[in-house]
Structure 1
Amino acid sequence: MKAYQVLLYYVYVPIENPEEYRDEHHLFCIEHNLLGRIIVSPEGLNGTVSGLAADCQAYMDYLHADPRFKKTAFKIDESEGHTFKKLHVRVKDEIVNSDLPVNPIVRTGKHLEPADFKQLLNDPDVVLVDMRSNYEHSLGKFKGAITFDMENLRELPAHVQEIEHLKDRKIVTYCTGGIKCEKASAYLLEKGFENVYQLHGGIIRYGIEEGGENFDGKCYVFDNRIAVEVNKVNPEIISSCHVCGTPSDRMVNCANAACNIHVPICENCGVTLEGACSDACKNHPDKRAYDGTGNYAIHSNHYNPLQGFRSLKKKEKV
């Protein structure tokens, strides 16, 4: 058993005074040495955090002790260490950016538990629809799933017509942890789709509980791991190196900060191009030092309830 854990969760529930709760929440994370990204919104919470197993358990207990969050479901994975370098607790209008005119607390697609989802995979009447962005589903997706050429969930309305002809079928949506599908499935219902389902807990939970069968490639995650294995039954690499075209599921950001394209690059090309996606980017004056991971921490201003906003650069000079 590994010493650290990674928690992925979301919960749609009204939160009054989100700024005040953000400070309380942030302080708890600091006191328990937790790192990660957490969004506090009037519509709920969305977070991924990492820490020692005992600290993660304290965090789950902390949320479940609050009546508003007692039904929060956590996806728990193990890790050798922290999967984040920083802690961000931010207040936003939505816990997942969508701008969709729906409220999943009122109406959303039917939840499918991982075991039930697995059974439906062989149903000829089922249509799987991936609700993630291009760079996510290009790295990994369920066999036969429909994908949309979109950068984020805000673009979903422009793509619904691509599945209009499937309105009489069982539409099963899925995403990384389930949060996007709460709104995406609700939107499909608003557009006249009647049999709309969603994979409860997303790809991550399906992999943990059911072995990830029929998920090809890796699942993109929003922490320092970048991508994780899901399928322990019949895995297959579906992505290829941006540079040489060989099969590769190693996602990196181009070392050239001015480019920063997020694509698969194999280890050999990573070494040859020093983390860049091309010779031009390798020789660009903004190229960052390559440490072999292709993951670069963003230097930005951070809010700490003990300090207010403080620049990292200023902090480094102290």
Structure 2
Amino acid sequence: MNTILNISAYLFVPLSDPAALQPLLLERAVARGLKGTILLAGEGINLFLAGPPEAVRGFVDLLRQDPRFAPLAPKESWSASVPFRKMLVKVKREIIRMDHPAIQPDFSRADGRAPAVSAATLRRWLDQGRDDAGRPVVTLDTRNAFEVDHGTFEGAIDWRIGKFTDFPPALAAHRAELQGKTVVSFCTGGIRCEKAAILMREQGVEHVYQLEGGILKYFEETDGAHFKGDCFVFDERRALDPALSPAASAP
């Protein structure tokens, strides 16, 4: 029986005190019996947590009492056991490393994000084969090649990157292929495609969107149509199927 709640969430918001937050969040998470990882940086927070549902949701409610974290919108899935061994809170230079300091998403500003499309909108566009303006739609996978190999959208562009820091040079090499198309960048939970979409816009790709909430939100809000395979996740479940259950094929 799946009684363990797993969440992933991120928020790009300026944090002046990530080092001060580290021991506080660790203490609060451990007190609730949670396991997983929280990453903190000057650019925001990225978290993966698992535990009893009341403990996980209580921790998120506590986080949201800080106005900076009020917009946190976790993606939820369930498992029979906790897929993490420890509770870690780490301070990093970036919550998702791109090594491109000019790219600074900021959820606290109306203009601080790249435009996003909902799961339902992307599904409709893929059904149509075009966006609402009649442009051809392509999906761009911003994940590492080994993640893509578990599953991706049908016909998705895959530049076979080995790590996210490879994305900027891959874009420079392939940018011309994206012109004239509506490009929807996607990743597991939204954090990588958030930065990728902003970079593409800055590099002159005109019609770029990010998939809001990534693959996990697409699975949650649609029937998973147009996605082939499973979604790799960085915990002991290894991969989730479109029902957000641990994939039978996962080792």
User: So what's the TM-score if we normalise by structure 2?
Assistant: 0.90
User: What displacement does 1:120 show?
Assistant: 1.4
The higher-RCO structure (CA 8 Å, 6+ apart) is 2
1:20 is matched with 20
Quote the Cα distance in structure 2 between the aligned partners of 1:214 and 1:91.
Answer: 37
Map 1:1-318; keep pairs closer than 5 Å. Answer: 2-100=2-100, 101-105=102-106, 107-121=112-126, 122-124=128-130, 125-160=136-171, 161-230=173-242, 249-251=249-251
1:301 is matched with none
Quote the Cα distance in structure 1 between the aligned partners of 2:223 and 2:81.
Answer: 23
Number of aligned residue pairs = 237
Contact in 2 for aligned 1:214/1:231 (Cα 8 Å): no
Contact in 2 for aligned 1:215/1:231 (Cα 8 Å): no
Q: Deviations over 1:209-234 (max 9, x none)?
A: 112111111110011101110269xx
Secondary structure of the equivalent of 1:45?
strand
User: What displacement does 1:88 show?
Assistant: 1.1
Contact in 2 for aligned 1:36/1:50 (Cα 8 Å): yes
Q: Using a 3 Å threshold, how does the CA distance of structure 1 residues 231 and 58 change in structure 2: closer, same or farther?
A: closer
User: What displacement does 1:171 show?
Assistant: 0.7
Secondary structure of the equivalent of 1:82?
coil
Quote the Cα distance in structure 1 between the aligned partners of 2:150 and 2:23.
Answer: 36
User: What displacement does 1:37 show?
Assistant: 1.1
Secondary structure of the equivalent of 1:48?
strand
Letter in 1 for 2:117: L
Deviates more, 1:205-214 or 1:31-40: 205-214
Instruction: Give me the identity figure in percent.
Output: 32
User: What displacement does 1:143 show?
Assistant: 0.3
Q: Deviations over 1:22-66 (max 9, x none)?
A: 111110001000000110111100011000011011011112211
RMSD between superposed Cα atoms in Å: 1.8
Secondary structure of the equivalent of 2:124?
helix
Letter in 2 for 1:111: A
Contact in 2 for aligned 1:134/1:151 (Cα 8 Å): yes
Letter in 2 for 1:115: A
Q: Using a 3 Å threshold, how does the CA distance of structure 1 residues 51 and 140 change in structure 2: closer, same or farther?
A: same
Secondary structure of the equivalent of 1:117?
helix
Quote the Cα distance in structure 1 between the aligned partners of 2:21 and 2:243.
Answer: 38
Contact in 1 for aligned 2:123/2:226 (Cα 8 Å): no
Contact in 1 for aligned 2:220/2:243 (Cα 8 Å): no
Contact in 2 for aligned 1:4/1:52 (Cα 8 Å): yes
Contact in 2 for aligned 1:112/1:199 (Cα 8 Å): yes
Unmatched 5+ residue regions in structure 1? 238-247, 252-318
Quote the Cα distance in structure 2 between the aligned partners of 1:189 and 1:156.
Answer: 14
Secondary structure of the equivalent of 2:230?
strand
Quote the Cα distance in structure 2 between the aligned partners of 1:58 and 1:96.
Answer: 25
Contact in 2 for aligned 1:173/1:185 (Cα 8 Å): yes
Letter in 2 for 1:4: I
Letter in 2 for 1:145: A
Contact in 2 for aligned 1:213/1:231 (Cα 8 Å): no
Q: Deviations over 1:73-124 (max 9, x none)?
A: 1101111121111111100010101112311225442111111111111333
Secondary structure of the equivalent of 2:122?
helix
Letter in 2 for 1:120: W
Quote the Cα distance in structure 1 between the aligned partners of 2:114 and 2:8.
Answer: 21
2:133 is matched with none
Letter in 2 for 1:123: G
Secondary structure of the equivalent of 1:159?
helix
Question: Segments of 4+ in structure 1 off by > 6 A?
Answer: none
Give the structure with higher Rg (CA): 1
